[in-house]
Amino acid sequence: MPPKLGILAGGGELPVRLVAACHEQGREVFLLGLEGHANPADFPQVDQAWIRLGEAGRGFEILHEKNCVEVVMAGPVRRPSLRELRPDWRTVRFFSRIGVKALGDDGLLAHSILGDLLAAEGVWGRHRPDKQAEADIARGLEVAKGIGLLDVGQSVVVQQGIVLGVEAVEGTDALIARCGILKRDGEGGVLVKIAKPGQERRADLPTIGPQTIASCAAAGLRGIAVEAGSAIVVNRDAVIAAADQAGLFLCGVRVDL
């Protein structure tokens, strides 16, 4: 029997999926929700407690009291300022070790537990990238590696060889919306999303879900390419169905570092 898992939950569907995966495995789980990020209504039958982001010290005391042997962090957490954190001393010590940069728009999650949600290599839906889209993907991978090495972001939008935007603190959806305003005439752009080179593969993995598809369609993009084996696809069937309906291609690509 796997050891009891403590989940430090941010927003979105990932914490919900992680709880469901634990239940399917027969694994005991305890949820520690982050106030203002996770939604209490999403966890009606889960043993849980709630803290603000700056109370990591108290949170880890709770996890210890609940006999959680392993702990993972899952779900989007808006990158905070130190003033917003108002950290207790244990929190200061904790973030001095992992770095506040670990709290990015795409959140933190358990790579090993959610392995079945990792993006597969190849094209997933009905639509395929053409030669121009493939060239834009290649350009996007080149740029994404560069900004990843600088710890800037994970996502890039490229249209006809031109970089319309790179992700910073605003997050992927805001990047997509901004690039929708900047798009040129002709064939639409491509969203490329990969893990930062050399980053810890149990944390801050790139993530897409149904909202990503809606944002890309609204911005006039042609498709999405994510890193195979590293990107998380939340609600894969719904993502593929939405992309098919919107006329977007979806694909997982291998990234050579």
Helix, strand, coil proportions of the chain in percent (round to 5)? 35, 20, 45
Q: According to the per-residue pLDDT averaged within each range, which of 85-94, 103-112, 127-136, 171-180 is highest?
A: 127-136
- pTM for the model stands at 0.69
249 with 134: CB under 8 angstroms? no
122-253: CATH topology: Cytidine Deaminase; domain 2 (3.40.140)
pLDDT mean over 94-108? 47
d(CA 153, CA 167): 5
In the numeric block, the tokens 């109370």 are attached to 55
139 with 147: CB under 8 angstroms? no
C-alpha separations of 53 from 72, 92, 94, 106, 148 in Å? 15, 11, 12, 16, 25
80 with 103: CB under 8 angstroms? yes
- By C-alpha distance, which of 124, 96, 104 is closest to 196? 104
* pLDDT at position 205 over 50: yes
pLDDT for 199 equals: 58
d(CA 99, CA 124): 35
194 with 227: CB under 8 angstroms? yes
pLDDT mean over 208-237? 92
142 with 108: CB under 8 angstroms? no
24 with 87: CB under 8 angstroms? no
Query: Does the domain made of 5-116 have the CATH classification 3.10.129.10?
Result: no
172 with 107: CB under 8 angstroms? no
> Hey, where are the domains in the chain?
5-116, 122-253
User: pLDDT-derived band of residue 92, with 50, 70 and 90 as boundaries?
Assistant: low
Question: What's at 236, amino acid-wise?
Answer: R
User: pLDDT-derived band of residue 83, with 50, 70 and 90 as boundaries?
Assistant: low
pLDDT for 118 equals: 83
Q: At what angle do helices 236-246 and 210-218 cross, to 10 degrees?
A: 20
* pLDDT at position 215 over 90: yes
pLDDT mean over 200-229? 86
d(CA 163, CA 65): 49
d(CA 6, CA 117): 20
Average pLDDT, the chain: 83
Which comes out higher in pLDDT, residue 54 or 138?
138
* pLDDT at position 60 over 90: no
User: pLDDT-derived band of residue 43, with 50, 70 and 90 as boundaries?
Assistant: very high
